[in-house]
Amino acid sequence: MHISSSPATPATIAPPQPVTPRRLAIFGAGGLGREVLVLLRQLNAVAPTWELLGFYDDQPPATDLIHGLRYLGTAADLNATPEPLAVAVAVGSSASRAGVVGRLTSPLLHFPVLVHPGVSAESFQHLQLGPGCIITQGCILTTDIRLGRHVLLNLGCTVGHDAVLDDFCSLMPHANVGGGAHLEAGVYLGTNATVLQQVRIGARTVLGAGAVAIRNLPADCTAVGVPARVVDRKD
């Protein structure tokens, strides 16, 4: 699925705190799916929030039982749910995650915001999060930040003031985004990658592990190194 470079305007919301458990399935039965399961169990340890049903994936895993939860089927099976169901899309690739969300078309499916309980609650007073965002353990977000739909912040990421991360951006562990930076839709930052303040990264661009973007980068390219330089352009 092609990721649009036009950002959606997300609603300003805080991490969900329902009084009674709600039914939730994880799409993605790989490593990130298991990590999201850990996140969900950590949330449940603070407050009994989610009734965890199991995993869905278009590629069946090697075993039907993953850390105590069953493999339940494909996206088509998930679309056939007869009742409302929350879905956490645990797919690391920006393009692949957008493709999955595009295939999950049932109006009974919704995508909650999942934020590790250790992330500071004060930041949510001035933080906009779109549906489906996943923020994992050790992340630091300061103030006046906007995240679009289905943005993934993996372990230990930092996002500075006034930064904008458009739909389907993915930050791998310990990636850093400086104040006022703008990541357009579908940008992927590798582990320990850094975008300096006020720098803009074009839609669907990949910034490699450990790279440092000190100036704007165009859309649809791969950049590596310190400072980051473009090494490949997508058709």
Cα 78 to Cα 89: distance, rounded to the nearest angstrom: 12
Single pTM value for the model: 0.89
Q: Are strands 221-224 and 229-233 parallel, antiparallel or unpaired?
A: antiparallel
Residue 79 has what DSSP assignment? H
Cα dihedral 207→212→216→222 (10° resolution)? -20
In which order are the strands placed within the sheet that holds 114-115?
114-115, 134-135, 152-153, 170-171, 188-189, 206-207, 221-224, 229-233
Q: 149: number of CA atoms within 13 Å, CB side? A: 15
Written as tens digits, the pLDDT of the chain (235 aa) is 555 554 444 444 445 444 455 999 999 999 999 999 999 999 999 999 999 999 999 999 998 899 999 999 999 999 999 999 999 999 999 999 999 999 999 999 999 999 999 887 565 778 999 999 999 999 999 999 999 999 999 999 999 999 999 999 999 999 999 999 999 999 999 999 999 999 999 999 999 999 999 999 999 999 999 999 999 998 7
In which order are the strands placed within the sheet that holds 200-201?
127-129, 145-147, 164-165, 182-183, 200-201
Structure tokens at 143: 């103030």
Cα 145 to Cα 139: distance, rounded to the nearest angstrom: 13
